[in-house]
């Protein structure tokens, strides 16, 4: 049989990793990417934006033989450092010890590493080539370059890894409606920068103000929850941090609409994030120069057009970022699809349908959990009822680890399907609520009786194979 060939649209995180895995499994792969080659052009804008990589994404990178290379460029995050209004902070560990941590990676660095790996595996990369249209009956696609020149190329099987605003999805939708629904969260985000070394000036500032708390811990994901909105910061390898402000897009103050100028935003930060503002020396410049990004969840009835086209990653199931799982989920997709295609390269219709059947329930589950995590993060990270449930959950997990595992841990540190984590989490949460009956004091609960109830109520968790 001739070598099967596949056309990918989008050489972002998911497209580049998928391309590498398909090439390693013997497919001939062409990737068309809208932007110029980031390895040559230098990453556009030069801003460093980072993401949290967790076990699922790491497992996909292990399968691709790239995990170690990525981890040498990542910063370990042991937990969530919560900064309250009164200027105090405390670390909530993500896992039991340093074997359960997540990693902050630069999007640009990771993308360049994945493109190198794809090329090394034999993938043909075509940069500055944007998908303009697709003819699924003639089985060709039209690309347009930066100068406006178009060309048509033959593409019998097309895979769209072109992100939340997927052009391939739009083209597929014109051929056969995909049942697309976009649910805006109503909140948006803006990125700001804590440069390296600014910890020192903050230290001096705080010292002058008589505070006893200084530098920002590099091995943590920082959160400033404010009820209804929040800031987060993830560390970069150079000692800088990328801060993201999440706010309602419109409506009463504070919202992005109520803060149209960087001066207004600066005053708002001085009020609500007084410990964070001094760490961002270029606040006014950053606020006016960086765009406001929207946040939506994307649902589709169909991810594929027979055996001719398929969507993967954000193009199929964009979610809100509050569980740090969008890339991780997309990376998990790539392994499932590469395995299915390798096992049955001749029948893409069958493979694509099976891929959707396997992945969509999981994509729906992480979409729902990501929205829930926003509400949890911004409102209740410091809420007594939430903390009591967390504490009782931790006690049960310690006493009966085969019967209780925090949902966050299932999502972040295991390979259990997202849909399983969602269902199990719901059942566990109901049990915690029943055991606490409104109490905010976990230590007042009779643990022996609670464990008996747990064992009688919930079946044991599946055997865990750790990565």
Cα(140)–Cα(158) distance, integer angstroms = 9
DSSP string covering 123-184 = PEEEES-EEEEEETTTTEEEEE-TTS-EEEEE-SSEEE---TT-HHHHHHHHHS----EEEE
Specify the stretch interacting with ligand E0Q by CB under 6 A; choose among 16-24, 305-313, 317-325, 353-361.
317-325
**Does position 327 bind ligand FAD by CB under 6 A?**
yes
**Does position 319 bind ligand E0Q by CB under 6 A?**
no
Q: Are strands 124-127 and 28-33 parallel, antiparallel or unpaired?
A: parallel
Count H helices, E strands: the chain? 16, 19
**Does position 81 bind ligand E0Q by CB under 6 A?**
no
Cα(264)–Cα(248) distance, integer angstroms = 16
Classified as helix, coil or strand, 244 is: strand
Q: Which is nearer to ligand FAD, 247 or 315 (CB)?
A: 315
Residue nearest to ligand FAD as judged by C-beta position: 12
- In order of 373, 424, 462, the CA distances from 420 in angstroms are 17, 6, 10
> What's the sign of the alpha-carbon dihedral 120, 124, 127, 130?
negative
Query: Residue 102's binding partner, choosing from ligand FAD, ligand E0Q, none, with beta-carbon cut-off 5 to 8 A by kind?
Result: ligand E0Q
Q: Which is nearer to ligand E0Q, 13 or 115 (CB)?
A: 13
**Does position 323 bind ligand E0Q by CB under 6 A?**
yes
Q: Report residue 365 CA to chain centroid gap.
A: 14
Residue 225: its H or E element: strand 221-225
Specify the stretch interacting with ligand FAD by CB under 6 A; choose among 161-169, 274-282, 395-403, 458-466.
161-169
Region of 133 please: left (phi>0), alpha (psi -120 to 50) or beta.
Answer: beta
Residue 247: its H or E element: strand 241-248
Query: Residue 404's binding partner, choosing from ligand FAD, ligand E0Q, none, with beta-carbon cut-off 5 to 8 A by kind?
Result: none
Classified as helix, coil or strand, 350 is: helix
**Does position 413 bind ligand FAD by CB under 6 A?**
no
249 DSSP 8-state letter? S
402 DSSP 8-state letter? T
Binding mask 23-52 for ligand E0Q (x = CB under 6 A): -----------------------------x
Candidates 58, 64, 114, 221: give the one binding ligand E0Q (CB under 6 A).
Answer: 221
Candidates 4, 22, 79, 163: give the one binding ligand FAD (CB under 6 A).
Answer: 163
Which of 267, 306, 315 lies closest to 287, judged by CA? 267
**Does position 324 bind ligand E0Q by CB under 6 A?**
yes
Candidates 185, 259, 335, 377: give the one binding ligand E0Q (CB under 6 A).
Answer: 377
**Does position 162 bind ligand FAD by CB under 6 A?**
yes
Binding mask 261-300 for ligand E0Q (x = CB under 6 A): ----------------------------------------
Which residues are within 8 A (CB) of 277 and not within 5 positions of it... i.e. 6 or more apart? 266, 269, 270, 283
DSSP string covering 280-321 = -TTHHHHHHHSPPEEEEEEE-S-SEETTTEEE-THHHH---S
Specify the stretch interacting with ligand FAD by CB under 6 A; choose among 251-259, 327-335, 358-366, 456-464.
327-335
Query: Residue 11's binding partner, choosing from ligand E0Q, ligand FAD, none, with beta-carbon cut-off 5 to 8 A by kind?
Result: ligand FAD
Candidates 248, 278, 324, 417: give the one binding ligand FAD (CB under 6 A).
Answer: 324
Query: Residue 442's binding partner, choosing from ligand E0Q, ligand FAD, none, with beta-carbon cut-off 5 to 8 A by kind?
Result: none
Cα(67)–Cα(53) distance, integer angstroms = 11
Q: What angle do CA 43, 19, 163 make, to 5 degrees?
A: 55
Tokens standing for residue 376: 């949890």
**Does position 235 bind ligand E0Q by CB under 6 A?**
no
Specify the stretch interacting with ligand FAD by CB under 6 A; choose among 26-34, 90-98, 263-271, 376-384.
26-34
**Does position 39 bind ligand FAD by CB under 6 A?**
no
Site residues (CB under 6 A) for ligand E0Q, limited to 170-199: none
**Does position 226 bind ligand E0Q by CB under 6 A?**
no
**Does position 160 bind ligand FAD by CB under 6 A?**
no
Q: Which is nearer to ligand FAD, 273 or 331 (CB)?
A: 331
Question: Which spans of this chain sit near ligand E0Q (rule: CB under 6 A)?
Answer: 52, 80, 102, 221, 232, 321-324, 373, 377, 412
Question: Which spans of this chain sit near ligand FAD (rule: CB under 6 A)?
Answer: 9-15, 32-35, 51-52, 130-131, 161-163, 167, 189, 244, 293, 313-315, 321, 324-328, 330
């Amino acid at each position: 049989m001739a070598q099967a060939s596949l056309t990918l649209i989008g050489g972002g995180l998911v497209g580049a990793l998928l391309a590498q895995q398909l090439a390693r499994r013997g497919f001939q792969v062409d990737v068309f990417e809208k932007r110029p080659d980031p390895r040559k052009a230098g990453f556009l804008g030069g801003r460093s934006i980072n993401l949290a990589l967790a076990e699922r994404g790491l497992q996909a990178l292990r399968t691709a033989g790239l995990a170690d290379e990525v981890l040498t460029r990542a910063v370990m995050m042991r937990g969530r450092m919560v900064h309250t209004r009164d200027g105090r902070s405390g670390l909530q560990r993500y896992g039991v010890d340093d074997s359960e941590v997540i990693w902050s990676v630069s999007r640009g660095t990771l993308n360049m590493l994945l493109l190198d790996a794809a090329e090394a595996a034999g993938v043909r990369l075509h940069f500055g080539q944007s998908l303009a249209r697709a003819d699924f009956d003639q089985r060709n696609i039209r690309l347009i370059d930066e100068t406006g020149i178009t060309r048509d190329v033959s593409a019998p099987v097309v895979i769209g890894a072109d992100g939340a605003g997927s052009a391939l999805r739009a083209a597929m939708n014109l051929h056969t409606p995909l049942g697309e629904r976009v649910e805006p969260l109503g909140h948006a985000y803006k990125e700001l920068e804590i440069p390296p070394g600014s910890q020192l000036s903050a230290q001096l500032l705080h010292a002058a103000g008589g505070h006893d708390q200084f530098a920002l811990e590099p091995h943590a994901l920082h959160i400033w929850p404010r009820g209804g909105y929040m800031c987060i910061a993830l560390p970069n390898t150079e000692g800088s941090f990328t801060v993201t402000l999440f706010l309602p897009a419109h409506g009463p103050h504070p919202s992005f609409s109520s803060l149209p100028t960087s001066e207004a935003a600066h005053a708002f930060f001085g009020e609500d994030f007084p410990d964070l503002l001094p760490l961002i020396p270029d606040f006014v410049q950053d606020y006016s120069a960086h765009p406001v990004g929207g946040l939506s969840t994307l649902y589709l009835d169909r991810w594929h057009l027979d055996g001719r086209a398929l969507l993967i990653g954000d193009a199929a199931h964009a979610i809100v970022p509050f569980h740090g799982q969008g890339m991780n989920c997309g990376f998990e997709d790539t392994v499932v699809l590469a395995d299915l295609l390798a096992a049955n390269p001749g029948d893409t219709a069958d493979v694509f349908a099976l891929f959707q059947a396997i992945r969509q329930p999981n994509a729906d589950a992480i979409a729902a959990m990501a929205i829930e995590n926003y509400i949890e993060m911004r409102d209740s990270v410091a809420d007594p009822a939430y903390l009591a449930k967390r504490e009782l959950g931790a006690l049960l997990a310690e006493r009966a680890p085969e019967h209780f595992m925090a949902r966050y841990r299932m999502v972040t540190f295991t390979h259990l399907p997202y849909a399983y984590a969602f269902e199990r989490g719901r059942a566990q949460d109901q049990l915690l609520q029943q055991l606490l009956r409104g109490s905010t004091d976990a230590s007042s609960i009779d643990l022996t009786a609670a464990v008996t109830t747990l064992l009688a109520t919930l079946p044991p968790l599946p055997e865990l194979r750790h990565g």
